[in-house]
Chains A and B, each alone.
Chain A
Amino acid sequence: KAGVTQTPRYLIKTRGQQVTLSCSPISGHRSVSWYQQTPGQGLQFLFEYFSETQRNKGNFPGRFSGRQFSNSRSEMNVSTLELGDSALYLCASSSSPGGRYEQYFGPGTRLTVT
């Protein structure tokens, strides 16, 4: 089976712009979770989608949003980018919602906001 893929791998944006990141889960996985990783805060949970429904959301401002399509592919969007949004964004897929089973991570998208 192909692993989790994320596009793009690297991105440079300017403050105030918006960005859309994409994640394709492992075939058959219906759960996709998104995380933000920074040196200071570590891995922070953004949100999780299961069968096109957002079932959980972390403590992030409304500028961070996401969606999941019927083929389980997911996108996350960050509007009005701030310097502090520079981070590695990771998505993970699983066969079950939440943490009941292992999550499979993609390689991440490195976002730099200047």
Chain B
Amino acid sequence: SQQGEEDPQALSIQEGENATMNCSYKTSINNLQWYRQNSGRGLVHLILIRSNEREKHSGRLRVTLDTSKKSSSLLITASRAADTASYFCATDPTPSGGSNYKLTFGKGTLLTVNP
């Protein structure tokens, strides 16, 4: 089953606008990561935020993490047509016992940025 769930499933905006995507998860985590996937290609790592961090920036990306609500958001500012892609959140769950932790991906948000 999916640990992370992105919302919305699809988002269409105009170039220059900001895009916000949300991710909710179920169990406690060590970190949460965001990835981007251009159509039919491999995923590209965007940003990693640890459970003791609340906000992180990287260029035009801003990620927040609220562990009390088990949610994260990814904000892309001043979007460009090249930002058109699917965006996935992935969680590294805190192991309940043993060491079989693994990164678990949500189903993604498809972002379309219209020129």
- Which residues of A does B touch, CB under 8 Å? 4, 33, 35, 42-43, 45, 48, 55-56, 88, 90, 92, 98-108, 110
Interface: B43 (CB within 8 A)? yes
Chain B, interface size category, equals 20 to 34
Chain B residues 67-115 with CB under 8 Å of chain A are 88, 90-92, 99-108
Q: Are B100's CB and A100's CB within 8 A?
A: no
7 A/B residue pairs, CB under 8 Å, sorted by A: A42-B108, A43-B105, A45-B103, A45-B104, A102-B45, A103-B45, A107-B41
Write out the residue numbers on chain B whose beta carbons fall within 8 Å of the beta carbon of A90: 42-43
Interface: B11 (CB within 8 A)? no
Total contacts A-B at CB 8 Å: 66
Kindly state the separation between the CA atoms of A90 and B37 in the bound complex, as whole angstroms: 12
Q: Are A105's CB and B31's CB within 8 A?
A: no
Which of chain A's residues has its CB closest to B107's CB? A42
**Selected contact of A92 from candidates B41, B43, B101, B104, CB within 8 Å:** B43
Chain B residues 30-60 with CB under 8 Å of chain A are 30-31, 33, 35, 40-45, 48
**Selected contact of B30 from candidates A43, A45, A100, CB within 8 Å:** A100
Q: Are B105's CB and A42's CB within 8 A?
A: yes
